[in-house]
Amino acid sequence: MTRQMIKKQVNYALLIATILMAITGLGILEPGLITPLTFGMLGKLTSYRIHTLLWGPFTILFIIHIALNSMPRRWF
């Protein structure tokens, strides 16, 4: 697997994690808006649980993203 493919996969995973963090964060703050938009799947409690569980993977993906984009090419 080439460096570009790894970077692309990390970027897409980080994008998905960021979107989920934003949606669940809004679900915590504005449950009256997000609950109907998600057809009742994301209530306030569900949003809070998902948002809390996503911090670890989000942080790891963010650190990998920064490391891949700041390392010189010859290291990897």
pLDDT, position 75? 61
Q: Where are the domains of the chain?
A: 7-69
Write out pLDDT tens, residues 9-47.
Answer: 999 999 999 999 999 999 999 999 999 999 999 999 999
75 vs 24, which has greater pLDDT? 24
pLDDT, position 71? 80
Whether the per-residue pLDDT at 65 is higher than 80: the answer is yes
> Which has the closest alpha carbon to 6: 72, 61, 58?
61
Say whether pTM exceeds 0.85.
no
